[in-house]
Structure 1
Amino acid sequence: MTTINLFLLFSALASGLVAGLFYSYSCSVNPGLGSLSDSNYLAAMQSINRAILNPVFFFSFMGTLLLLPVSTYLHFGTGSRFYILLAATLLYAIGTFGVTVAGNVPLNEALDKINLTGSSSQELAAHRLRFEVPWNKLNAIRTWASILSFILVLLACLTAPDKS
């Protein structure tokens, strides 16, 4: 197996892991947490947001951001495979990574500063309202972007490079 194919394979693996993570949030974690009381919801999200900052997550999340452009560059001149990977890279960089860094992370950081034990029930409800709806909307965007990016990487894997 050539280096170029290894980069494509690892790009597919990393992007699939990220797509699966955000998909699982959308279809199970967020609905499950949504049924909790305000204080339990906020405490659970604080805990999850702290726990996800680990090497395993960063390997796939940041790894995809590095692997996709490298794989795209290595496929320059291969015709449609290059353009498919370029689309996957842009979709991931903007729709997944960009939305996370510009949207979800600031919300997570603001949530982390909330003193849950010192807040009244009205304050907790207000904190949740400011966090949950925008966070879930942003998560939906990055979920779709990561899934579409992953599909494009898979399509690139199935597309034979053009012979020049």
Structure 2
Amino acid sequence: MFLVITTVSAALMAGLFYAYSCSVNPGLGRLSDAGYMAAMQSINRAILNPVFFASFMGSVVLLPVSTWLQFRYGTEAGGWLFLAATVMYIIGVFGVTAVVNVPLNNALDKVSLQASPEELAGHRAAFEGRWNRYNTVRTVCAVLTVALAITGCLLAGW
């Protein structure tokens, strides 16, 4: 059951990043600079909540524990799959978020929405493309994490 909980936690994150990639980001991209900046600031503040952190940080803890459980009590192949899922998540999801997306979010949060249209356009240009590219990296890594974890669950008999 622990492996399933781990996989669901990672899947929730993959779904979040996927939803951003195929709906949120394209929708925000249609807004004016001021509208885009206001919406992203609001979203970045709203996502900092216990429900998000339970899955986001939960996966950082659950994946290594599942890896250990697989090597200790499960199958070696399952252990290697969960180890790959752990590395994929910690580097490609958690790491990219911590090193790229969070600093971009923090810089965006300091932008005054009262700035001139030219300044807002400059801030958006510095933020949007890079943030979206790295969200795509997180999405791909999160989906691969889930695929590896599901395969590990199947080998464990789930």
TM-score by length of 1: 0.92
For these two proteins, the number of residue pairs brought into alignment is 155
Which residue number in structure 2 is paired with residue 82 of structure 1? 79
1:71 aligns with 2:66: yes
Superposition map of 1:98-137 within 5 A: 98-117=95-114, 119-137=115-133
- Output one character per residue of 1:114-149: Cα deviation in whole Å (capped at 9) or x when no partner: 1111x1111010000000010001100000000000
Q: 2:44 maps to what in 1?
A: 49
Aligned mates of 1:95, 1:13 — CA distance in 2 = 18
Give 4+ residue runs of structure 1 displaced > 4 Å after superposition: none
Q: Does 1:34 align with 2:26?
A: no
Counterpart contact for 1:81–1:160, Cα < 8 Å: yes
The letter of the residue matching 1:32 is G
Structure 2 unaligned spans of 5+: none
Which stretches in structure 1 are left out of the alignment for 5+ residues? Answer: 1-5
Q: Name 2:54's counterpart in structure 1.
A: 59
Computed over aligned residues only, the root mean square deviation of the Cα atoms, in angstroms, reads 0.9
**The structure with more helix, counted as a fraction of residues:** 2
Give 1:160 deviation, angstroms: 3.9
Take 2:25 and 2:112, find their aligned partners in 1: how far apart are those partners?
22
Using the alignment, how far apart are the partners of 1:33 and 1:151 within structure 2?
29
Q: Distance in 2 between matches of 1:146 and 1:138?
A: 12
Give the AA of the match of 2:146.
Answer: F
Counterpart of 1:76 in 2: which secondary structure?
helix
Partner residue of 2:90?
A: 93
Alignment of 1:129-148 (within 5 A): 129-148=125-144
